Chains A and B, each alone.
Chain A
Amino acid sequence: MGNIFDVLYDVLFQPQMAMRSIADQKNIPQVLVVFFLSIIIPIWAMYFGLQAAGMSTMIHLFIGIKIFGSMVMWFMGTAVWHLLAEFYGGRGTAIGLFSTLGFTYFPQILIVPLWVFAAILPVSLKTLVMTVAALVILGWSLFLSITAMKEVYQFSTAKAVLVMITPLLVVLVLCTLAFTFVGSALTQMPMWL
């Protein structure tokens, strides 16, 4: 694996090999450049879209949420998933996971030409194509995250998926418990309210 073009090509078309190499090299400046490009280019496209929709007052809010949210997800995701991966017996480094997760945002750049394609379609197809495009990109990023987890910690696909969804499962269980306790507490209250 050589320059940035080779790395990006491999991320898109040979993700397994690319993630293994990124985790080994831990080239943080390169990861930061790719991450911010992957965030800023779709935001730029979103800026034009919101402006066209007459939502200019909300542009800054959307951009702020997108940048801040993506960075929090990247840092916090790395921390939580690394801890969980170690619990599940994985042998990898947090920096390795951090580097590979930075590259998982790269397919988001491809949403720009897909939106342009959707914009020239008839109104009836526009929303459908835009939704499908967004879902495909989301699925692609998710696939890259799972691949990153597999390559960094030498997990099987099932274990990598389990690590990825564990935080979600924990939140679901906590919510269910909270609702159960609150519900039972309410039914125990006297009916004079």
Chain B
Amino acid sequence: MYKKSVMIVIGVVVAFSLAGLAFIGMGAKERSKASRSDKIAIIYIEGVILGGRGQSTVLMEQGGTDQIIKQIHQARDDESIKAVVLRINSPGGSAAASQEVGEELKKLRAQGKVVVTSMGDVAASGGYWLAACTDKIYANPTTLTGSIGVYMPYANWEELYKKIGIYQEKIKSGPHKDIMSPERQMTSEERGIIQIIVDDIYNQFVDVVTEGRKMDKEQVRKLADGRIYTGNQAKQLGLVDELGNMYDAIDGAGQLAGIAGKPVIKEYGKQSPWNMLFGPNEKISTLVEQFLFHKMQSELNIGAPLEVSPEKWQVK
């Protein structure tokens, strides 16, 4: 009888414990469900903005706007993500690549997600194009931004080629097929063609800023002479909404998305140990180095005969 009583007590304790665990489990499930439904995604835009898949290795791809667009799509499809913070640290890049990402950001906003920009050291030119496509822009007072404009680099190596005895024969299908070739002077007609293209891209850039910042077009044109601004100046001119760092931007995004309490952060493109071991090597370490490298590449650009368009189209 004594043994039976002891075992019944043990049985009751176990049964109550199971009920307790079920209760604790349900509470934790509710909490985790609540936390899962209020996330802020961080997408990093770093370095020169270029289209394509970037650098590829056997195991992964890195860089290139295709990856950024993929991350934007993932954030769009994830119902738990209420807002996206775009952390921009870029001196600019290709107009088409910037436009492509900018359009995806607009679609993301159209789906009801809040998109906020946090500018790092530099968010100029193409970097600003992307920022203009977001709901709110945060910059540090010393961030370099602006540089709203377009340029197409062209180097004339004609004299050098003559000195070293190089003469290139060309069989062209049309008079402008080798436009911007480095081994001859550009004609005034060709200059006019390129100027029209540059103006067209510039106008598109101005339209993006006008629409995104809800500013007067003429006011944007005055600011968009290609100069750079500090974050402080940009705030006074209306190109930036708030001065603050990435955490201020996260808080701001949380408020805009109506997230109560501390938001859960989900970082995209985070460097994993796998990535560090097998990912592509980042040889150009600083943004200044990237900028110089990019510029040097453009200056040394030698036109390829099969190119349909010039190799580099920089938003600057």
Distance of A12 Cα from B7 Cα, bound (Å): 10
Give a binary string over B10-43; 1 marks a CB under 8 Å from any A CB, 0 the rest: 1001101110111011111100100010000000
Q: Is the interface of B mostly helix, strand, loop or mixed?
A: helix
Q: Is the interface of A mostly helix, strand, loop or mixed?
A: helix
Task: Identify which of A10, A41, A119 gathers the most chain B CB atoms within 10 Å of its CB.
Answer: A119
A119 and B24 within 8 A (CB): yes
Given the contacts A41-B14, A112-B14, A113-B17, A52 and B28 also touching, CB distance less than 8 Å: yes
Given the contacts A51-B29, A52-B32, A112-B14, A6 and B21 also touching, CB distance less than 8 Å: no
B7 and A52 within 8 A (CB): no
Given the contacts A52-B28, A54-B36, A10 and B22 also touching, CB distance less than 8 Å: no
The interface residues of chain A lying within 8 Å CB-to-CB of B16 are 113
Task: Report which of A5, A6, A41 forms a contact with B18, defined as CB distance below 8 A.
Answer: A41
Given the contacts A52-B24, A52-B28, A52-B32, A45 and B4 also touching, CB distance less than 8 Å: no
The interface residues of chain B lying within 8 Å CB-to-CB of A115 are 17, 21
The answer, yes or no, to whether A77 is at the interface (CB within 8 Å) is: no
Of residues 132 through 154 on chain A, the ones whose CB sits less than 8 Å from some CB of chain B are none
The interface residues of chain A lying within 8 Å CB-to-CB of B20 are 116, 119
The interface residues of chain B lying within 8 Å CB-to-CB of A44 are 18
B18 and A8 within 8 A (CB): no
Distance of A51 Cα from B32 Cα, bound (Å): 10
Given the contacts A52-B24, A119-B24, A9 and B7 also touching, CB distance less than 8 Å: yes
Given the contacts A6-B4, A8-B7, A112 and B28 also touching, CB distance less than 8 Å: no
B3 and A10 within 8 A (CB): yes
The interface residues of chain A lying within 8 Å CB-to-CB of B4 are 3, 5-6, 9
Distance of A44 Cα from B21 Cα, bound (Å): 9
Nearest A residue to B8, CB-CB = A5
B14 and A110 within 8 A (CB): yes
Counting chain A residues whose Cβ lies within 8 A of the other chain, the interface size class is 20 to 34
The answer, yes or no, to whether B59 is at the interface (CB within 8 Å) is: no
Give the shortest distance, in Å, between A49 (CB) and chain B (any CB): 7
The interface residues of chain A lying within 8 Å CB-to-CB of B6 are 9
Of residues 90 through 125 on chain A, the ones whose CB sits less than 8 Å from some CB of chain B are 109-110, 112-113, 115-116, 119
The answer, yes or no, to whether A48 is at the interface (CB within 8 Å) is: yes
The interface residues of chain B lying within 8 Å CB-to-CB of A8 are 7
Counting chain B residues whose Cβ lies within 8 A of the other chain, the interface size class is 20 to 34
The interface residues of chain A lying within 8 Å CB-to-CB of B24 are 48, 52, 116, 119
Distance of A15 Cα from B8 Cα, bound (Å): 19
Distance of A185 Cα from B82 Cα, bound (Å): 58
Task: Identify which of B7, B17, B20, B28 gathers the most chain A CB atoms within 10 Å of its CB.
Answer: B17
A49 and B21 within 8 A (CB): yes
The interface residues of chain B lying within 8 Å CB-to-CB of A112 are 14, 17-18, 21
Task: Identify which of B16, B27, B28 gathers the most chain A CB atoms within 10 Å of its CB.
Answer: B28
The interface residues of chain B lying within 8 Å CB-to-CB of A54 are 29, 32, 36
A116 and B7 within 8 A (CB): no
The interface residues of chain A lying within 8 Å CB-to-CB of B21 are 45, 48-49, 112, 115-116, 119
A52 and B14 within 8 A (CB): no
The interface residues of chain B lying within 8 Å CB-to-CB of A10 are 3
Distance of A49 Cα from B24 Cα, bound (Å): 9
Distance of A168 Cα from B110 Cα, bound (Å): 62
Distance of A112 Cα from B13 Cα, bound (Å): 9
A48 and B25 within 8 A (CB): yes
Give the shortest distance, in Å, between A115 (CB) and chain B (any CB): 7
The interface residues of chain A lying within 8 Å CB-to-CB of B27 are 52
The interface residues of chain B lying within 8 Å CB-to-CB of A47 are 25
Distance of A53 Cα from B36 Cα, bound (Å): 12
B3 and A45 within 8 A (CB): no
3 closest Cβ pairs, A-B complex: A48-B25, A52-B28, A9-B3
A interface, CB within 8 angstroms of B: 3, 5-6, 8-10, 12, 41, 44-45, 47-49, 51-54, 109-110, 112-113, 115-116, 119
B interface, CB within 8 angstroms of A: 3-4, 6-8, 10, 13-14, 16-18, 20-22, 24-29, 32, 36
18 A-B contact pairs sorted by A residue (CB < 8 Å): A3-B4, A5-B4, A6-B4, A8-B7, A12-B10, A48-B25, A49-B21, A52-B24, A52-B28, A110-B10, A110-B14, A112-B18, A112-B21, A116-B17, A116-B20, A116-B24, A119-B21, A119-B24
Since A45-B17, A116-B21 are in contact, a sample of 20 more A-B pairs with Cβ atoms closer than 8 Å, ordered by chain A residue number, is: A5-B4, A6-B4, A9-B4, A10-B3, A12-B10, A41-B14, A45-B18, A48-B24, A49-B21, A51-B28, A52-B26, A52-B27, A53-B28, A54-B29, A109-B10, A110-B10, A110-B14, A112-B14, A116-B17, A119-B21
